[in-house]
Chain A
Amino acid sequence: MNKEINLGRREALKAGGGIGLMAVLGAYGLLNSTAAMAEWNKAAFSSKAMDEAFAAMGAANPEVNATAIQLSVPEIAENGAIVPVTVSSTLANVEQITIFVDKNQNVMAANFIFPAGTESMVTTRVKMGQTANVVALVKADGKFYRTAKEVKVTAGGCGG
């Protein structure tokens, strides 16, 4: 266990030290070579309300489906700066999963695109300014579905 972590660290360090220029070029190449790379959806990411964001994602009135989408969030977040979110789906042909926080100033947090062969699940962490709903939007076979769960963001004492 410990050994694995150390190996990981050393590799990351190597990458950080020696091959700076290559890394920059590499990133440029990777992110620009493939024509299929979806564009950063400015309209969706700057939406202030859920309806607006759904529309910008081409998903007006997505069907509510809490069984085919599994949204895992903590009931209480000790700190709104890190709220873990896992979304997975049992729907066939999931192409895209999008995560929103309905009371954040910009409601859309992240969008994930799943090529064939990648499992329909992702875990990430989002910021929440206050108690709010985390909303998951799933696109499968060209159709949109959504579900939501509330996360309570609490005020802390000195803590830990």
Chain B
Amino acid sequence: MGNPMKIRAAVKDGVTEVKILMQHEMETGMRKDGDGSLVPAWFITEVKAQYQGRTVLEAQFGQSVSKNPYLLFRFKGGAAGEKVTVSWVDNKGDSRTDEVAISA
């Protein structure tokens, strides 16, 4: 199972802003380690954010997304205390889901 994400969600003037920081190596598959051998590709491929069971953002990543991926987006609606849920899967089939309550 993947490591926990850090998710912040805050509502202001009827718009919820979501900031997500994921813990992932995001190996390109092109990098050599200290011994000179190629580090296999290992990266998040899909991310999905949901609010009250409704999808608010979908993303697909390639190898060029930075280590510990960061996302910021906004959707209309949301109220303090309601939940935003974020999930990802990587190319090895590993996954992670975390949720956070929207703050005012």
The short answer to whether A and B are in direct contact, CB under 8 Å, is yes
Which A residues form the contact surface with B (CB < 8 A)?
Answer: 4, 8-9, 11-13, 15-16, 20, 23-24, 26-28, 30-31, 34, 36-38, 40-41, 45, 81-84, 86, 101, 104-115, 117-119, 121-128
Which B residues form the contact surface with A (CB < 8 A)?
Answer: 1, 3-8, 15, 26, 28, 30, 45-46, 48, 50, 54-67, 69-77, 85, 87-89, 95-101, 103
Contact B87 A12 (CB under 8 A): no
Collect the chain B residues with CB atoms within 8 Å of residue A112's CB. Answer: 57-59, 73
5 cross-chain pairs, A with B, having the tightest CB-CB distances, nearest first:
A27-B95, A109-B64, A16-B4, A123-B72, A125-B66
Contact B73 A106 (CB under 8 A): no
Name 4 extra pairs, CB < 8 A, besides A37-B58, A119-B76, A126-B65: A12-B5, A31-B89, A118-B57, A127-B28
Q: Which residue of A lies closest to B49 (CB)?
A: A118
- Cβ 8 A contact of B71, one of A106, A122, A127: A122
* A11 to B83 CA separation, bound complex (whole angstroms): 12
Contact B100 A11 (CB under 8 A): yes
Q: Which residue of B lies closest to A24 (CB)?
A: B1
Collect the chain B residues with CB atoms within 8 Å of residue A4's CB. Answer: 8, 103
Collect the chain A residues with CB atoms within 8 Å of residue B98's CB. Answer: 12, 15, 23
Collect the chain A residues with CB atoms within 8 Å of residue B72's CB. Answer: 86, 122-124
**Shortest beta-carbon distance, B50 to chain A, in Å?**
7
Contact A23 B6 (CB under 8 A): no
Collect the chain A residues with CB atoms within 8 Å of residue B73's CB. Answer: 112, 118-119, 121-123
Contact A23 B62 (CB under 8 A): no
Collect the chain B residues with CB atoms within 8 Å of residue A40's CB. Answer: 45-46, 60
Contact A8 B6 (CB under 8 A): yes
- Cβ 8 A contact of A34, one of B28, B55, B67, B95: B55
**Shortest beta-carbon distance, B84 to chain A, in Å?**
12
Collect the chain B residues with CB atoms within 8 Å of residue A83's CB. Answer: 66
* A110 to B66 CA separation, bound complex (whole angstroms): 11
**Shortest beta-carbon distance, B88 to chain A, in Å?**
7
Contact A117 B76 (CB under 8 A): yes
Q: Which residue of A lies closest to B72 (CB)?
A: A123
Q: Which residue of A lies closest to B58 (CB)?
A: A113
Contact B74 A113 (CB under 8 A): no
Query: Which one of A30, A45, A82, A104 has the highest number of Cβ atoms from chain B below 10 Å of its Cβ?
Result: A30
27 CB-based A-B contacts, threshold 8 Å: A11-B101, A12-B4, A12-B6, A12-B7, A15-B98, A15-B99, A23-B96, A26-B85, A26-B97, A27-B87, A30-B87, A37-B58, A45-B60, A45-B62, A82-B66, A109-B62, A111-B59, A115-B55, A121-B74, A122-B73, A123-B71, A123-B73, A124-B70, A124-B71, A125-B66, A127-B64, A127-B65
